Amino acid sequence: DGLIKLSNASLGLSDTVLSVVSKDGVYEVMSSSGKNRTCNAVIIAASLDEEKIVFSPSVDLPKRSMHHTFVTFVRGLVSRDYFGLKDAKLPDLIATLEVPGIPFISISVLKSYNATDNAYKVFSRASLSDEFLDKLFSVRRKTIRLNWAAYPQYNAPETFAPVILDGNHLYYVNSFENAASTMETSAVAAENVARLLLMRLSTDGAVFNSGLNTMAKRGSEEL
């Protein structure tokens, strides 16, 4: 929130980008809400491998498959009977081997409300059915399922997409995911792209460096 306020950015949540059209040195960005935004530069900070954003002119990206992790959030109580236990207390984290006979990767307690009411996070390689969840949990009050394209399927040697997609000001942060895909490395990649944009827009390197120092100072004071 602090960074958004510092940047004076207009934040549009739950508004899917449908197309990015480059024309006459600017970009027209159309979203699902029907809003048409005109931008001097566009930074893509999402994996384009499974997105359906239309680019005009089209952009050339190397083919990349994403590794999917299924996340199931359950509020209730894990069944001791499922694990063959009667009286023993179950740990807050249960991790397994990734073998075909085990339907989930891990179960962890996110929050404990009382002795019979917890919030759990379950990782798996496929969606978990209601039938299985009713075996895994003795009590199941609420269930939320997410299919998460977590990171690329790595196949060395990796082929990286360009950071600058059109030779102008269309940038792609997630090109870096071919090296590593974490929140921390994505933050570093995003900062690098922001610095690259400022550098390419600047006509004076001294002005560019001064601007970065001013932004860093303001950020440390206000965040």
**pLDDT digit string (tens) for 119-160?**
999 999 999 999 999 999 999 999 999 998 989 999 889 999
**Sign, CA torsion 139/143/148/153:** positive
pTM: 0.76
Give, for 220, the enclosing helix (H) or strand (E).
helix 205-222
Mean pLDDT over residues 183-201, rounded?
93
Please, are residues 160 and 172 in contact by the beta-carbon 8 Å criterion? no
Q: What angle do CA 59, 7, 176 make, to 5 degrees?
A: 35
pLDDT at residue 65 greater than cutoff 80: yes
d(CA 61, CA 32): 24
Mean pLDDT over residues 176-192, rounded?
94
Range of weakest confidence among 96-105, 135-144, 184-193: 96-105
| Structure confidence at residue 209 (pLDDT) | 52
Which residue type sits at 73? F
| Structure confidence at residue 215 (pLDDT) | 46
pLDDT band at 219 (very low <50, low <70, confident <90, very high): very low
Question: Cα-Cα-Cα-Cα dihedral of 35, 41, 44, 50, to 10°?
Answer: 60
